Chain A
Amino acid sequence: MTPRTDAPTAREMCTFLADYAARLLGSGATCIRLEKNVRRIGAAFGMQVEVAVFPRHIHLSVVAQGGGELYTSIAAISDCSLSFAVNAALSRLSWDVADGTVGFAEAVRRFSAIAGMRGEDRLLVLLLASVANAAFCRLFGGDAVAMAVVFGATLAGFALRQFMAARHADFRLTVIACSFVSSVLAGADGLFGLGATPEIAVGTSVLYLVPGIPFINSFSDMLDRHYICAFGRFTDALVITGCLSIGLCAGMMLMNVGMF
């Protein structure tokens, strides 16, 4: 491929790709997508890119065409919230660069705009998540009372999660607190003898905290033989599941809800 007239230096490319990769992984992308995207952007300018993904860092090397200039950098993975809107927009940007419709300077500008994208309305997410967890309760065989209780328990727990996230609280602590609050509130079903399926209400009240994306991504990374990253994500998911269990267990003990 012939270098484009707007071609950056290996250093500029490496600095840009490090930011790009850190944001893409932070938004919930898998390793295979990350590798394909950064290589695609590099190849558009005749550069070869290699990445190594660690649980908290990305190691990037960019070799300019002809092997004359090599630049390497390590970036910390963004500790941002999951966003498939950002993932989709960053992936599209990589294709626009590859197809030549976007130059390097424009790509850097667009990246800043995408990285600053606002998430979905908080109230709407809160409401949708609560309705979803109530629907979940029904799928697991809960009655109408259990669904109503789970809706309330999720509403309170998820609102707490948003409150703590806005204050940058430790996510593990957030999960313990939210699962505790949700399970205590869901325990009301059994405590006051409201419905016929109180154990389903307690069991489903914390499911909105299940770290599904790290679990799925870890399997995807494993299939792609990115074992270190896969293991890192899996451990993260296990730790979150453990925190969820601690909160749930404490809530059940407080409400004196038996398991069997």
Chain B
Amino acid sequence: MDFFQDALFSAIAAIGFAAISNPPRRAYLYCAVIAAAGHSTRFLLMEGTGLRLHIVVATALASLLIGVLAVLISPRSRVPAETYLYPSLLPMIPGIYAYRAFGGLVMCLYHGGEASFGHYFYLFAHNGLTCFFILLSMAVGATVPVFMMKKISFTAMRRHE
């Protein structure tokens, strides 16, 4: 159940966030499919199977899948692969980690005592580092396929007789 819920909500989120960057209408369905595939893959790698991968590794693999799917689908839908990357990656944005890192930083300023400062600095650093590496693995994982399959990525807009 969790698995399907995860896929469904990431597909809804992807359609909404795709709308912000004004893609051609034909791109919406593919956005939803790629996002659902990516996010549920991460879910499976982390919780659904026995693998229990770390969130950074699971995100990198899921992003790689998103990148590959985006490049392969782009000639079929005649939409640049980049169109699919942002809405599909967004449901994996480490918002809560970023939020906690920022919270830790602010609390550091309010707590001068060594013990409490240390605690909040730990929260800042731990959440901040996790957030940074998730973002890095997302961006690199999704962009690398565009460069690895340049021929498909940059001829997708060509009209075929």
Listed in ascending order, the chain A residues whose CB lies under 8 Å from chain B are 28-30, 32-33, 36, 81-88, 91-92, 94-96, 99, 101, 119-120, 124-125, 128-133, 135-136, 138-140, 200, 202-204, 207-208, 210, 212-213, 215-217, 219-220, 223-224, 245, 248-249, 259-260
Contact = CB atoms under 8 A, between A and B. Distances in A.
B9 interface: yes
A41 B149 CA distance: 22
A210 B135 CA distance: 12
Interface in B14-45: 14-17, 19-24, 27, 39
20 contacts: A33-B154, A82-B20, A84-B24, A85-B22, A88-B83, A91-B80, A95-B158, A101-B159, A125-B20, A128-B15, A130-B16, A135-B10, A136-B9, A136-B91, A139-B91, A202-B99, A212-B17, A216-B82, A219-B139, A259-B103
B21 A260 contact: no
B51 interface: no
A132 B15 CA distance: 7
B128 interface: no
Contact of A131 (B5, B12, B21, B83): B12
Contacts of A32: 147, 154
Nearest to B82: A30
Contacts of A133: 13, 16
Interface string B51-79: 00000000000000000000000000011
With a 10 A CB-CB cut-off, give which of A86, A95, A202, A212 has the most chain B CB atoms.
A212
B16 A203 contact: no
Contacts of B12: 131-132, 135
Interface residues of B, number: 52
Interface of B: 5-6, 9-10, 12-17, 19-24, 27, 39, 78-80, 82-83, 85-86, 89-91, 93, 95-96, 99-100, 102-104, 106-107, 123, 135, 139-140, 142-144, 146-147, 154-155, 157-159
With a 10 A CB-CB cut-off, give which of B20, B96, B123 has the most chain A CB atoms.
B20
Closest 10 CB pairs of A and B: A132-B16, A259-B103, A219-B139, A135-B12, A91-B157, A84-B23, A84-B83, A128-B16, A203-B99, A83-B22
B160 to A, nearest CB: 10
A81 B19 CA distance: 12
Nearest to A199: B99
Given A128-B15, A133-B16, A210-B90, A260 B159 contact: no
A129 B78 contact: no
Contacts of A210: 90, 93, 95
B96 A87 contact: no
B93 A95 contact: no
A203 B131 CA distance: 14
Contacts of A136: 9, 13, 90-91, 95
A227 to B, nearest CB: 15
A81 B146 CA distance: 23
B10 A219 contact: no
B143 A223 contact: yes
Contact of A204 (B10, B89, B95, B142): B95
B19 A124 contact: yes
Contact of A84 (B14, B79, B95): B79
B83 A87 contact: yes
A12 B42 CA distance: 50
Given A139-B91, A216-B139, A223-B144, A132 B157 contact: no
